[in-house]
Amino acid sequence: AQKVTQAQTEISVVEKEDVTLDCVYETRDTTYYLFWYKQPPSGELVFLIRRNSFDEQNEISGRYSWNFQKSTSSFNFTITASQVVDSAVYFCALDTTDSWGKLQFGAGTQVVVTP
Amino acid sequence: DAGVTQSPTHLIKTRGQHVTLRCSPISGHKSVSWYQQVLGQGPQFIFQYYEKEERGRGNFPDRFSARQFPNYSSELNVNALLLGDSALYLCASSLVAGGYQPQHFGDGTRLSIL
């Protein structure tokens, strides 16, 4: 069975601080994809980044960066120099060969950025 | 290009009624998935359709059904509504059914059951 755990319920920061969101996943599949989505108050889930299970190279895209470690089954996400517009709920999701296309989401982490 | 569009935006129903939610995928996307998001939780998978065939079903009762049309749009139907069906219903589309291609979501339909 697949499972995604986001232990942080809410994170509050002041603008320009960095924010790191934790994600721990469980799967027995060797081929899978991990995603981060952002959900602003409007409700739409916005795709941010993805990583496949064969590529542990960490990357940076603008103010976003991610740290994927298979050894600890973690896929953490960092927002650098946070802005008020980053305030949203962030979800980590898992897609595996056992159930392609059926995203398994974590419970989400509420990020509050204050000026 | 237009994103995933869902209608209606909001809906209020009473227990026992029936509801139909609609979704138009991004142009060129052949896979549509439906998710239910209860307040304070992550989305839960309901259905996936690819090329008009059901590719997967989540742990939801038979009161929930869906279909995909030749133009790849989709409908989600829920019969005999219960209070617990109150949620945000999200539709997502992707080029193919799963894997590398990310799912792109619509704004959702907020369903309230009285």
Please tell me which of the candidates A43, A52, A101 has its beta carbon nearest to residue B97: A101
Interchain pair A101, B100: CB under 8 A: no
Residue A91 to residue B90, Cβ atoms within 8 A: no
| A50 in reach of chain B (CB within 8 A) | yes
Residue A73: predicted pLDDT: 95
Per DSSP, the residues of chain B read ----EEE-SEEEE-TT--EEEEEEPPTT--EEEEEEE-TTS--EEEEEEETTEEEEE-S--TTEEEEE-TTS-EEEEE-S--GGG-EEEEEEEESSSSTTSPPEE---EEEEE-
Residues in chain B: 114
The residues near B40 (Cβ < 8 Å, ≥ 6 apart) are none
Cβ distance A66 to A48 under 8 Å? Answer: no
| Segment holding A110, helix H or strand E | strand A109-114
Q: Cis omega (within 30 of 0) on the bond before A40?
A: no
Substitution target in B60, B89, B104 with the highest count of A β-carbons within 10 Å is: B104
Q: Measure B62 CA to nearest chain A CA, in Å.
A: 18
Query: Rg (Cα) of chain B, in Å, rounded?
Result: 13
| Tens-place pLDDT, residues B53-95 | 999 999 999 999 999 999 999 999 999 999 999 999 999 999 9
Predicted confidence (pLDDT) per residue in B20-36, tens digit: 999 999 999 999 999 99
Nearest chain B residue to A48 by CA distance is B102
Rounded mean pLDDT of chain A? 93
Residue type, A5: T
Report whether pLDDT(B1) > 70.
Answer: no
Please give the structure tokens belonging to residue B59: 């742990």
Specify the pLDDT at position B10: 96
Tokens of A77: 């996400």
β-strand pairing of B109-113 with B87-94: antiparallel
Question: In the predicted model, is pLDDT for residue A80 greater than 90?
Answer: yes
Q: Which of A53-62, B50-59, B91-100 has the lowest mean pLDDT?
A: A53-62
Q: Are A47 and B50 within 8 A, CB to CB?
A: no
Burial class (CB in 10 A: 0-12, 13-18, 19+), A41: exposed
More confident residue, A58 or A108: A108
